[in-house]
């Protein structure tokens, strides 16, 4: 995408004078667009980092839940065996 400066560089001085207000407005909008793009990229980076942290945390929860389920099942088996009378 061409910048405002690149676009108007090929214009004649008369064209530049005729459209100077429009050119100035476009320069201001271009500056705001660049700032917004930078802010958007920074936000996207932060969002990505947060999502990575969330996935990592979720994986840790999954692992711990699996270990807890195994431990509970082990306790259940011990209790079940201790209540069964010997044959």
Task: Enumerate the H helices of 1-87 as residue ranges.
Answer: 4-8, 13-18, 20-83
Q: What pLDDT, in 10s, does the model give residues 56-69?
A: 999 999 999 999 99
Residues with Cβ within 8 Å of 8's Cβ and at least 6 positions away in sequence, in order, are 15, 16, 19, 23
Mean pLDDT of the 22-31 span? 97
Q: What is the pTM of this model?
A: 0.64
- All structural domains of the chain with their residue ranges: 4-83
Sign of the alpha-carbon torsion through 42, 47, 49, 50? positive
Distance CA 42, CA 37 (A): 9
């Amino acid at each position: 995408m061409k910048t405002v400066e690149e676009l108007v560089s090929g214009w004649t001085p008369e064209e530049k004078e005729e459209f100077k207000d429009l050119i100035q407005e476009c320069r201001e909008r271009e500056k705001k667009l660049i700032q917004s793009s930078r802010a958007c990229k920074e936000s996207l980076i932060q969002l990505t980092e947060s999502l990575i942290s969330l996935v990592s945390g979720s994986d840790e929860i999954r692992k711990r839940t699996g270990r807890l389920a195994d431990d509970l099942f082990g306790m259940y088996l011990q209790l079940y065996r201790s209540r069964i009378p010997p044959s």
